[in-house]
Amino acid sequence: MMKMKTNEKPLKKAILGIGNALVDVMFTLNDDKLLKQFGLLKGSMTLVDAGLSQKIQAGASHLPREIHTGGSAGNTIHGIAKMGGTCGYLGKISKDEFGDFFKEELESNNINNHLLYSDTGTGVATTLISKDSERTFGTYLGAAMELMPGDLSEGIFKDYGYLHIEGYLVQNHELIETAVKMAKKAGLKVAVDMASFNVVEANLDFLKKLVSEYVDIVFANEEEAKSFTGLEPEAALDVIAGMCDIAIVKTGAKGSLIKSGNEKVKIGAIPAKSIDTTGAGDIYAAGFLYALAEGYPLEKAGKLGALLAGKVVEVMGAKIPEEQWPELRAGAAAILK
């Protein structure tokens, strides 16, 4: 199937996110003993069942805790909404306390609601934040994992110009294939955030086929890029850019690398006092996709992504506090002028 070229504008600017609809329950660790106790690989996302999810939360119950809506694509779509972009979210929850919380957060931020329901229980991502700001997820998907190909219809995509897929969903191959085929038929550009190096490793062949045949925009951090290509960031960027229209490799405090065709851009990170890297990649994607959808060049899109990422690492969790957004939107306007 032919992918759109980067110089072809989609018919619409609106961005649809599809992902695991989760509520984040975040704990700040004194040390990494809990990670070893529950067999969680530091920096990774590990799927757990309801029982283990509850045990991890009980084991961390003496630590400081915060609760927010989460999920990688959900975080990205929230960021786009805060920038004033038109966007929607597709995921599955339950009619319970966490599900109600998730739905209300979408509606209060003017995000189009494409939520579906299950009786399994809304998914929970228990996030353990180490002293070096690295985050480790023990994720109980609950209702989120029951999002199925049959839940999708072509009508969902008709009002959007972009589809943003979180990498955690690629474990459901049939769902993602159905989504990208419907999106392409409707004329959307498709973006994928690779999400976690262990997910990339476990789904490598599928991901390579997906990117080569359907994906226009790829976001990866250096670990994910290495899992995908076996190469360091600069070389990985070249390989990924050869498979899609726009490749972005995020290199943490060093910034990010962007390539499209023969154009290559290096974006520096803004100075930041990092206390929690949760959501940094998600909010980078929010800034990048918002600017791209509005027709701005790659460099400006990357700079906006870097601005938002630099702010979210200075706070606990994947959401920038409401009171910071007016100043951030002013900073964004200066970048995009």
Summarize pLDDT for 214-264 with one digit per residue, the tens. 999 999 999 999 999 999 999 999 999 999 999 999 998 899 999 999 999
Q: Is 61 inside a domain boundary? A: no
Amino acid at 283: I
- Name the band, by pLDDT with cuts 50, 70 and 90, for residue 50: confident
Largest CA distance in the chain: 53
Per the DSSP assignment, residues forming a β-bridge with 217 are: 191, 246
- In this predicted structure, the answer to whether residue 161 has a pLDDT above a threshold of 90 is yes
CA–CA dist 310, 272 (Å, integer) = 6
72: how many CB neighbours lie within 10 A of its CB?
Answer: 29
Q: Is 111 inside a domain boundary? A: yes
221 contacts: CB under 8 Å, gap ≥ 6: 194, 249, 250, 251, 252, 281
In Å, how far are 41, 84, 99, 121, 292 from 225, measured between CA atoms? 18, 30, 33, 33, 22
Q: Is 31 inside a domain boundary? A: no
Reported as type and span, the H/E element at residue 331 is helix 325-336
Tell the residue number behind the tokens 């960021």, with chain if given. Answer: 79
- What's the structural domain count of the chain? 1
The CATH number given to whatever domain includes residue 197 is 3.40.1190.20
Which pLDDT score is estimated for 315?
Answer: 83
The chain-wide mean pLDDT, for the chain, equals 92
Residue 297 tokens, joined:
């060049």
Q: Is 177 inside a domain boundary? A: yes
Tell the residue number behind the tokens 């306390």, with chain if given. Answer: 97
Summarize pLDDT for 15-31 with one digit per residue, the tens. 999 999 999 888 999 99
Residue 227: phi, psi to the nearest 5?
Answer: -65, -35
Q: Is 301 inside a domain boundary? A: yes
Its domain, for residue 260, covers 15-21+71-121+144-336
Q: Is 9 inside a domain boundary? A: no
Q: Is 136 inside a domain boundary? A: no
CA–CA dist 81, 326 (Å, integer) = 13
pTM: 0.87
CA–CA dist 44, 222 (Å, integer) = 13
Q: Is 28 inside a domain boundary? A: no
- Name the band, by pLDDT with cuts 50, 70 and 90, for residue 5: very low
